[in-house]
Amino acid sequence: MSSDVAVQIDRVGKRYGRHWALRDCTLSLPAGRIIALVGANGAGKTTLLHLAIGLMPPTEGSVSLLGTPLKPGRPQTLSQVGFVAQDHPLYRGFTVAEMLRYCRKTNTRFDQAGAEGRLRDLGIPLNRRTGRLSGGQQAQVALTLALAKQPRLLVLDEPVASLDPLARREFMKTLIAAVAETDVTVLLSSHVVTELERICDHMVLLRGGRVRLAGDIDDLLAGHRVLTGPRVDDAALDGLVTATHGERNSHLLVRQPATAPTHPRWEAHPVNLEELVLAYLEGQD
Amino acid sequence: MFAFRVLDRSGVPAYLQLVDQVRRGLLLGHLQEGDQLPTVRAVASAVVINPNTVAKAYRELEHAGLAVARAGQGTFVTGNIEQVPAATYARLSGRLRQWFADAREAGLAPEQVRAMVDAVMDDERRRETA
Average pLDDT over residues B64-90: 85
Query: pLDDT of B6-35, one tens digit each?
Result: 988 777 888 999 999 999 998 888 888 899
Instruction: Please indicate, yes or no, whether residues A242 and A183 belong to a single structural domain of this protein.
Output: no
Residues in chain B within 8 Å Cβ distance of A34: 50, 52
Instruction: Please indicate, yes or no, whether residues A156 and A97 belong to a single structural domain of this protein.
Output: yes
Q: Contact B50/A272, CB-based, under 8 Å?
A: no
Q: Which range is least confidently modeled, A65-74, A95-104, B54-63?
A: A65-74
What CA–CA distances, in Å, run from A20 to A15, A26, A44, A263, B96? 4, 15, 9, 42, 63
Q: Contact A176/B45, CB-based, under 8 Å?
A: yes
Average pLDDT over residues B98-108: 91
Instruction: Please indicate, yes or no, whether residues A152 and A277 belong to a single structural domain of this protein.
Output: no
φ/ψ of A219, rounded to 5, equals: -70, -40
Instruction: Please indicate, yes or no, whether residues A105 and A131 belong to a single structural domain of this protein.
Output: yes
Residues in chain A within 8 Å Cβ distance of B44: 176-177, 179-180
Q: How far does B41 lie from chain A, in Å, by closest CA?
A: 5
> Among A156, A210, A205, A280, which residue's Cα sits nearest to residue A21?
A210
SS3 assignment, position A192: coil
| Single residue among A218, A235, A252 that ends a domain in this structure | A218
Q: Contact B11/A272, CB-based, under 8 Å?
A: yes
Instruction: Please indicate, yes or no, whether residues A77 and A114 belong to a single structural domain of this protein.
Output: yes
Q: Contact B49/A176, CB-based, under 8 Å?
A: yes
Structural domains of chain B, ranges and CATH numbers in brackets: 14-77 (1.10.10.10), 86-129 (no CATH)
Instruction: Please indicate, yes or no, whether residues A256 and A214 belong to a single structural domain of this protein.
Output: no
CB of A122 less than 8 A from some CB of B: no
Contact assessment for residue A59 and residue A11, using Cβ atoms and an 8 Å cutoff: no
| Window A:241-280, CB contacts with B under 8 Å | 270, 272, 274
Number of structural domains found in chain A: 2
Instruction: Please indicate, yes or no, whether residues A244 and A211 belong to a single structural domain of this protein.
Output: no
Contacts of B66 (CB under 8 A, 6+ apart): B19, B22, B23, B26, B77, B78, B80, B81
Query: pLDDT of A216-237, one tens digit each?
Result: 998 999 899 999 988 887 767 7
SS3 assignment, position B26: helix
Residues in chain A within 8 Å Cβ distance of B45: 173, 176-177, 180
Beta strands in chain A (DSSP E): 5-16, 19-30, 34-38, 60-65, 68-69, 81-84, 153-157, 185-189, 202-207, 210-216, 224-230, 240-245, 249-255, 267-270
Instruction: Please indicate, yes or no, whether residues A134 and A22 belong to a single structural domain of this protein.
Output: yes
Quote the pLDDT of residue A78: 79
Q: Contact B49/A199, CB-based, under 8 Å?
A: yes
Instruction: Please indicate, yes or no, whether residues A106 and A160 belong to a single structural domain of this protein.
Output: yes
Q: Contact B48/A270, CB-based, under 8 Å?
A: no
Quote the pLDDT of residue B55: 94
Tell me the average pLDDT of chain A.
89
| Single residue among A193, A218, A243 that ends a domain in this structure | A218
Q: Contact B50/A198, CB-based, under 8 Å?
A: yes
| Single residue among A174, A202, A218 that ends a domain in this structure | A218
Instruction: Please indicate, yes or no, whether residues A151 and A192 belong to a single structural domain of this protein.
Output: yes
Q: How far does A197 lie from chain B, in Å, by closest CA?
A: 7
Quote the pLDDT of residue A2: 42
> Among A143, A137, A138, A148, which residue's Cα sits nearest to residue A174?
A143
Instruction: Please indicate, yes or no, whether residues A27 and A141 belong to a single structural domain of this protein.
Output: yes
CB of A216 less than 8 A from some CB of B: no
Quote the pLDDT of residue A188: 95
Quote the pLDDT of residue B39: 94
For A176, nearest residue in chain B (alpha carbons): B45
Q: How far does B87 lie from chain A, in Å, by closest CA?
A: 38
Average pLDDT over residues B97-106: 91
Quote the pLDDT of residue B4: 93
CB of A219 less than 8 A from some CB of B: no
Domain with A240, as residue range(s), is 223-282
**Where residue A206 sits, what CATH number does that domain have?**
3.40.50.300
Best residue in A172, A175, A197 to probe B by mutation, most B CBs within 10 Å?
Answer: A197
Instruction: Please indicate, yes or no, whether residues A264 and A187 belong to a single structural domain of this protein.
Output: no
